[in-house]
């Protein structure tokens, strides 16, 4: 077994088991400035970094301090992210966030993991940067949204496959859905559903079917003529039949006919905009080694011990997300039971901390010694609850060492608040990321 590529002086791991993903060995990292030094002098977007301190209660209840860096570390003005990311998902982060950490903390060929994968922002960005993508999400939609974009097809192949599908042969015609769709559109959607379910049952789903399924899911309902439905809420929040009836009455609208294959092809063209030959080449080199899981993040035995170089993730927050209500229509299309999906959404902070501590234990297991976790916590309770303070003890309880807190603030000339930066209410976009490192190996 080859020695671990990372700094083995900090820990001794058991032999790394054979990886099911055929991981490429990491290149030896080039010597570089430490992240702390880089953040301190960072000035790429014209602002100097401000250094603060975040405190939290350590294991012995003594206060501990972590260096905290505030600046505009990535920005909307920066080089646009790949068009492949342009899939909506509730509470997704921008690709620039994982990119910032992947570029600084990993080498091509190393494994980058997101235990709360969502639409797959980290996973896709990792793959685009030549890292081996690994992801997990309890929501089965996450896999449907992520996997096809790791192996994007060619436009002409999508067009050809769409021509082979019979869009006028449904098995069902759920009349309730006529509040969203014109009868011809509903027939086409139900026919596509039947085709995809039959392909799945025959274990014949290929990359083109996966792609068409993703696109159909993405176009199902929305607020513009680019979607299959009449005007409704954005695609992340399917409304009930009753609410849609009211929307239709209020707006005096009836669902117009939509060309399902044409809309799939149009969105395909948009998504593939940046898919040039080098992009396809890099994706093709890592996608076959990807590992994407649909299960709770706290138990992922498929991921070997000490195999992951970096985790970039954003957990479910303390808000109330009713999965079944939000996803009933997409689950209908996929033939899934929306009520069977149980997301982790504790409403109380201590229950959330307990759930996150469990996940951190699992992350500690899968991380290489020297590997990092970049844990993004968003705004909750209108910025009154500081989740970075709440999350620090969870990582520490799992044996991880807090390195720093990074606050990315995109407009930070506004009125200062308690972090010295303006919050969402002031019109800024703030991400707070707690960075942990695995320095010890607790395995016997
Ligand atoms: C804030 S979102 C992540 C969004 C992601 N960063 C992106 O850019 O799309 C949190 C995700 O956690 C998932 N989730 C909730 N409970 C989970 C659990 N116990 N295990 C794994 N995933 C879970 C949700 O389905 C959701 O996709």
Tell me if 121 CB under 6 Å of ligand 1.
yes
Cβ(210) – ligand 1 distance below 6 Å = no
pLDDT at residue 32, rounded to an integer: 66
Inform me whether the pLDDT recorded for 365 exceeds 80.
yes
Tell me how far apart the alpha carbons of residues 395 and 388 are, in angstroms, rounded to a whole number: 11
343 lines ligand 1 (CB under 6 A): yes
- Among 311, 393, 385, smallest CA distance to 357 is for 393
How remote is the CA of residue 258 from the centroid of ligand 1, in Å? 32
Q: Whose CA is closest to atom 10 on ligand 1?
A: 316
Q: What is the pLDDT of residues 212-226, one digit of tens each?
A: 999 999 999 999 999
Question: Worst-scoring range by mean pLDDT, 18-27, 70-79, 149-158, 197-206?
Answer: 18-27
Q: Tell me the pLDDT of the chain averaged across its residues.
A: 86
Indicate whether 198 pLDDT > 80: yes
- What is the pTM assigned to this prediction? 0.89
Q: Is the pLDDT of residue 169 over 90?
A: yes
Query: For residues 296 and 80, which has the higher predicted lDDT (pLDDT)?
Result: 296
Q: 61 CA distance to ligand 1 centroid (A)?
A: 30
Q: d(Cα 368, Cα 440) in Å, to the nearest integer?
A: 10
pLDDT 10s digits, 177-197: 999 999 999 999 999 999 999
Take residue 353 and report the two structure tokens written for it. Answer: 């901390």
CA of 119 to the centre of ligand 1 (A): 9
Cβ of 316 below 6 Å from ligand 1:
yes
**Ligand 1 pocket check: which of 118, 144, 300, 303 to mutate, most ligand atoms within 8 Å of Cβ?**
118
For ligand 1, say whether the CB of 352 is within 6 Å of any of its atoms: no
Average pLDDT on 51-78 reads 87
| Residue range 194-201: mean pLDDT, rounded | 97
pLDDT given at position 25? 46
pLDDT digits (tens, 9 = 90+) for 122-160: 999 999 999 999 999 999 999 999 999 999 999 999 999
State in Å: Cα 250 to ligand 1 middle: 34
Residue 118 CA to ligand 1 centre (angstroms): 5
């Amino acid at each position: 077994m080859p020695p671990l590529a990372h700094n083995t002086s900090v820990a001794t791991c058991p032999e790394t088991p054979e990886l099911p993903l055929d991981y490429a060995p990491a290149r030896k990292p080039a010597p570089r400035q430490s992240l702390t030094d880089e953040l301190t002098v960072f000035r790429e977007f014209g602002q100097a970094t401000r250094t603060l301190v975040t405190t939290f209660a350590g294991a012995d209840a003594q206060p501990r301090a972590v260096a905290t860096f505030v600046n505009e570390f990535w920005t909307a003005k920066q080089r646009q992210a790949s068009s492949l990311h342009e899939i909506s998902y509730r509470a997704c982060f921008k690709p620039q966030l994982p990119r910032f950490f992947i570029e600084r903390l990993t080498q091509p060929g190393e494994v980058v993991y997101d235990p709360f994968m969502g639409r797959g922002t980290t996973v896709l960005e990792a793959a685009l940067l030549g890292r081996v993508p690994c992801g997990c999400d309890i929501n089965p939609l996450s896999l449907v949204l992520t996997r096809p974009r790791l192996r994007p097809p060619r436009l002409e192949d999508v067009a050809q496959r769409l021509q082979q599908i019979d869009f006028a042969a449904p098995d069902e015609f759920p009349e309730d859905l006529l509040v969203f769709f014109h009868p011809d559109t509903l027939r086409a959607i139900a026919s596509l559903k039947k085709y995809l379910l039959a392909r799945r049952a025959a274990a014949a789903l290929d990359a083109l079917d996966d792609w068409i399924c993703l696109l159909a899911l993405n176009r199902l309902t929305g607020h513009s003529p680019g979607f299959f439905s009449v005007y409704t809420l954005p695609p992340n929040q399917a409304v009930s039949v009753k609410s849609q009836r009211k929307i239709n009455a209020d707006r005096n609208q009836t669902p117009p006919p939509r060309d399902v294959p044409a809309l799939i092809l149009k969105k395909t063209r948009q998504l593939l905009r940046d898919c040039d030959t080098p992009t396809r080449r890099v994706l093709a080199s890592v996608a076959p080694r990807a590992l994407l899981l649909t299960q709770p993040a706290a138990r992922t035995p498929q991921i070997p011990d000490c195999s992951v170089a970096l985790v970039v993730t954003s957990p479910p927050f303390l808000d109330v997300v009713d999965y079944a209500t939000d996803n009933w229509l997409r689950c209908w299309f996929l033939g899934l039971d929306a009520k069977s999906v149980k997301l982790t959404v504790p409403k109380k902070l201590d229950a959330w901390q307990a759930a996150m501590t469990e996940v951190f234990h699992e992350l500690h297991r899968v991380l290489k010694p020297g590997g990092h976790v970049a844990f993004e916590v968003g705004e909750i309770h209108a910025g009154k609850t500081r989740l970075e303070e709440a999350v620090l003890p969870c990582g520490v309880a799992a044996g991880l060492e807090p390195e720093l807190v990074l606050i990315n603030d995109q407009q930070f000339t506004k009125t200062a608040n308690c972090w010295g930066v303006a919050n969402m209410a002031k019109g800024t976009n703030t991400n707070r990321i707690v960075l942990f490192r695995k320095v010890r190996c607790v395995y016997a």
